[in-house]
Structure 1
Amino acid sequence: MTRPPLYTRRPFLAGLLRQLPLFAVLVVVAVGLAMVALEHWRRGLLVVGLALVGAALLRLVLPLRRVGFLAVRSRPVDVVLVGGAGVALTVLVLTVPGD
């Protein structure tokens, strides 16, 4: 006899597990913003930009049932918008003259 899937046995746990990619991205963004608040703005914004690029990569490779709330629009639109924002922020941080 096979066990029923997790989303029928424990829907709350299944919902939390589905949001792990978004949670990981939010944790990295929070670390980056904390760095900005502690006056390490260049490194902090670099971390935020790389977190956005990571979110785009997660959206690109994960199936829809695993990506959670990282899926807002269609896959190509999500990847282009989030990845583009991450690349733009990263390039901007790296090209602004130093202190």
Structure 2
Amino acid sequence: MATPEPGRRRALVHLPFAVVLALVAIAGLRIGMYHWRQGAALIGGALLVAAVLRAALSDEQAGLLAIRSRVVDVLSYCGLGLLILFVALTIIGGPLG
């Protein structure tokens, strides 16, 4: 299998961060449409996706998701994602949908 040319490889490095950013953008749209619980749950899910991508990819492939060491990044993304999901799903006072 041929390796991608350098320009394409540089673009692929940003793909994991772009996926997470797209999920956060969708969450922002849901929050803007007054479905704040769905939006908050999507943000929590985006952080969990970031944790999985950071754990699965090498430091070079993770791109902008790699901030600290792999263990610290994964624990931070998981912790914040689970905390946001917990808050979004347990606050009473409105429908989830």
Cα distance in structure 1, aligned partners of 2:53 and 2:64: 11
| Structure 1 match to 2:28 | 33
| Structure 2 match to 1:22 | 17
Cα distance in structure 2, aligned partners of 1:15 and 1:84: 29
Gaps spanning 5+ residues in structure 2: where?
Answer: none
Cα distance in structure 1, aligned partners of 2:16 and 2:36: 25
Cα distance in structure 2, aligned partners of 1:11 and 1:44: 36
Cα distance in structure 2, aligned partners of 1:38 and 1:15: 35
**Does structure 1 residue 74 correspond to structure 2 residue 69?**
yes
Which of residues 8, 11, 23 in structure 2 aligns to 1:13? Answer: 8
| Structure 1 match to 2:78 | 83
Cα distance in structure 2, aligned partners of 1:16 and 1:88: 32
The Cα of 1:98 is off from its aligned counterpart by 2.9
Cα distance in structure 2, aligned partners of 1:30 and 1:83: 19
| Structure 2 match to 1:56 | 51
Give, as a single letter, the amino acid of the residue that structure 1 aligns with 2:8.
L
Q: Deviations over 1:40-78 (max 9, x none)?
A: 100011011101011011101112221111000000110
Cα distance in structure 2, aligned partners of 1:12 and 1:39: 41
Query: Max radius of gyration: which structure?
Result: 1
Structure 1 consecutive aligned stretches of length 4 or more whose deviation exceeds 6 Å: none
| Structure 2 match to 1:46 | 41
TM-score normalised according to structure 2 size: 0.88
Give, as a single letter, the amino acid of the residue that structure 2 aligns with 1:72.
I
**Higher relative contact order structure (alpha carbons within 8 Å, sequence separation ≥ 6):** 2
Q: Percent identity?
A: 37
Cα distance in structure 1, aligned partners of 2:82 and 2:7: 35
Cα distance in structure 1, aligned partners of 2:18 and 2:7: 15
